[in-house]
Structures are given as structure tokens and as C-alpha cells.
Structure 1
């Protein structure tokens, strides 16, 4: 059985996980709700701690922006289950899906449901968001991937799928207006994602 030791200021607690590597999505669905985010990449377990307050602020701001801009047939949702195969399972920070797919999906979305996947890069997820998830989302056929680098202003990197890989990203820095047009038109300065209220 695999174990994890969340890093906190308290004495480490051991979480016992059922199964053994390589893990399957079925294994992952039996894991305890212990405050960690569990994902799978080709059966390898990816464990992330709960998001930081600034990460949550940026996610809430972005969700509001997309909610306000989205036509009725599209729905932005935070932190959904995305099953790509028997040994690949991700929890994007935010997705946009067809509204009808929300009502038809019980546990996890399929890649065909995802019109946009968004990851907010933090120090603990930098490598997987920049490389691993980008390649996994492209291989799954997700048409648009946004990577938001919180430590860079923040800035927005927009990746669009061409064949089976993403084209070089279009980068929007803090202080300029990003105007991505897919899956629907929206415009915002990435700086607003971390700006305090008022």
C-alpha cells in the first residue's frame, strides 16, 4: 500500500492508500478525502496539497470572469474530475464544458466534454502544469489549454491544439488585455486575478 505524508507544521500523519503502483482510476476513487488532491498520469500518483489562498483568489476571479462572458450553452466549472483513460485522471483548476454535459455527467468528464482546461501554476505544480499536463491534455484532444503563471504578474499562456499537440503559446502579461476568442470571447487583464477587492 502506498502512503503519503502531507507537509504541515504538525506531526506527519500517514495516509494509507489502497492498491499499488501503477494505480488505476478505480484505485484512485477509493482514496480517502484527506485534503490532498490525487491525480494519475500513466498510473503514477500525483499528490498536491490544498491550494493556497492566493491560488483560490485567482481561481475565483477567473471563474467570475468566464461566468460573466459565457453564452448559455457553455459552463465554466472549477476543479472537476477528468478521466482520460484507465490510468490517467486529472483535476484541472477550471474547465469550460457544454452546459448539457454538466447535466449528463455523474462522476467525471471525458476529454470530449472539455472545451477549455485551465491550470494555475504554483510552486508545487510547476513542472506538471508546464509539461506533463500540457502533453496529456493535447494527447487527449482538449482543444484549448490555458496556463496561468501566478508568479509572473500573473500572466496567461494560451495553447491551441493543432493536430495532436499544442501550438506555441500566445502570452498575455499583466497590464495588457488578453482577448482569447475560444471557446467564446472574453477579455481581461491577467493582473486582476490577484488584485485585492475594492
Structure 2
């Protein structure tokens, strides 16, 4: 299987060992080529490296959550999440109990995750809006935030009800969102793209 690192034609290609359906163990043998490799039911999901604006917004959100989080909870960007033998995701940001960061070497499990966050980019729109929302709900992750950078940005908050997330609560740029899970925090989504003062 051949995968390119960008959308534009490239001269450098990565050849991956094995054949689908892939397992998490297969994923551990893949080269560190700058791509983000995830698995859904053994199918390979490949994303190019995040854009600077994507990283900028993640860093802003990490700071907001660190300032609001109680000491026993820890916001972390870009972690490995093993859901099962053939399901593996890399959320843009998670909130976990601080004690799990001490005992986790490589991969978190869904039981560790209190909140998963994805920043939607053009290459991951369908994945973040539908596939990951369903996968995170099926894994029992209590809260999922989807941030649409192209919408100002806007924040879409999903809370678990049974085996599915309730319809998203949407917060627009310019409006302060007051959220209570996994802890109380208030912020205007617009600050995620606002230059530092």
C-alpha cells in the first residue's frame, strides 16, 4: 500500500508493510514519516501533518483548559488512544485523570478519556464530524468537542447519553461558552485563533 504525505503530487512516498485489515500492532511498525496514522475497524486513516493554524488553536485550547482544570485532571494534546485491536485514534486533545499520565507509557484506553477534542481541517471533515463522533461514543468517552476552525471558529459540544452523543450544543465565535464537563470552564471560541497580546 502506498500513501503520500500531502495532497499535492509528491516525489517521496511511504511504503507500508502488511495489508488491510491492519491492527494496532501493525501500526507500531509503520515509519515515522510525519503522517498521522489511525485505524477504524482495521481500515487505515491517514492525515497529513497539522497546519500551523491547527497547532496554534490546539495550543490556545490547552492553555485555557490547563488554567481551568483541577489538579487531578490533565489536558494533553495529540495522544495515542487504543480502542481495540483494530481501532486506534490520535485525538487533537484529551482530558485525562492526572494519575493515568504517570502509568501510561504509549497508549491510553477509552476508560482514561474524559474529553476528546478534534479540530476540523479540510482533510478530516467527514472523519471528525461523523466517524470519530460515532467511534468515541461507542467507546464510552463522556464528552466530545468538535471545533470548526472555518466557522469563526465554532465549538460543538457532544455529551454522551447511553451509547450515543446527544445533539451538539453549538457555541459561535463572539459568544462565551460556559461548559461543565469534565470541569467548569468558560471561553469564547474566537480566542482560539486570536493573536497573542
TM-score above 0.5: yes
3-state DSSP of counterpart to 2:126? helix
Count of residue correspondences: 197
Root mean square deviation of aligned Cα: 1.0
For 1:99 and 1:28, how far apart are their aligned partners in 2?
A: 27
User: Which piece of structure 1 moves more, 88-97 or 11-20?
Assistant: 11-20
The answer on whether the counterparts of 1:6 and 1:12 sit within 8 Å (CA) in structure 2 is no
For 2:134, the equivalent position in structure 1 comes to 135
CA distance in 2, matches of 1:113, 1:134: 17
For normalisation by structure 2, the TM-score amounts to 0.98
Instruction: Determine if contact 1:80/1:91 at 8 Å carries over to the other structure.
Output: yes
Structure 1 gaps, min length 5? none
Distance 1:9 1:29 in 2: 26
Residues 140-194 of structure 1: per-residue CA shift (max 9 Å, x gap): 0000000000000000000000000000010000000011101000000000000
1:52 aligns with 2:60: no
Q: C-alpha displacement at 1:9, in angstroms? A: 6.2
Could you say which residue in structure 1 is the equivalent of 2:178?
A: 179
- 1:71-110 pair list within 5 angstroms: 71-110=70-109
Distance 2:159 2:10 in 1: 44
1:195 paired to 2:194: yes
